[in-house]
Structure 1
Amino acid sequence: MPTKTAAQKRAQAKVEYDAFLAECPSRQLLDRISDKWVALILAALGSDGPHRTRGERAGGPRAMRYSELSRRLAGVSQKMLTQTLRSLERDGLVTRSVTPTVPITVTYELTELGLSLHQVMRDIKKWAEAHMNEVLANREEYDASLP
């Protein structure tokens, strides 16, 4: 049996990925991208929505400083934001740039891979915002029907 290169092994694994199987590594990725902070960070870096911060241009992804992200994501702790950004950087979805200024400027920006996921996450965010009233009404109806 011939030995396979790492690239050949990755290509074969890609064909065989099936998130319905417990041991499939794509489940880890689904876990990561289904996290609320990941979805909100991707949406924020994509500059979508009516709640742009001062100076933010509409219509496209842009780099953001840590403090901008922190302000945009109400309720996120410093620890959670840092951990989430590190995991996104590790997965190649976000890039971190350090500019040697005083104080040092650190910005985060979507990579090409992150941009490919951004539209999906933005659509999910918009869907949730558009259908929240229906979901709340369904919850009330369901809860009222319980004994």
Structure 2
Amino acid sequence: MAGSRNRLYMLLIGACLVGYLWLFVNLNKETSIFPNEVNVCLFKKISTIPCPSCGSTRSVLSLLHGRIEQAFLLNPIGLLLFLIMTASPIWICIDFLLKKDSFFIFYNKAEHILKQKLVAIPLIVLVLLNWIWNIYKDI
């Protein structure tokens, strides 16, 4: 169990670090390494249709600037990303310091709940509605 816990923790910390780097690159377009907006969505590049998560970077950046309504309108998934990128590294560090498994236990319980049809189907519908909204907004 400790091995899978550590793998999960390292995966999440690594994903958060990549996310922080991506946010840093996009934080200020005037001083950014990439002066123009960079579209890394492979789905959108191939199909010209935005994916359900298109706009989530701009959503998180809006949250960082205190613009909650704008963040929600850009992409509600950004709110979830912000929460995960903020809470999970802190929680994981606390687990490492206290030699606990509380985040791992929480993750496993959440995964179990999300696999239940009564929960999974409405969440899938929400993602599809978000996708339709992204297409409508032509994000």
Larger Rg: 1
RCO higher in structure (CA 8 A, sep ≥6): 2
Interval of TM-score (by shorter of Structure 1 and Structure 2): under 0.3
Q: TM-score, normalised by structure 1?
A: 0.26
Query: Comparing both structures, which one devotes a greater share of its residues to helix?
Result: 2
Q: TM-score, normalised by structure 2?
A: 0.27
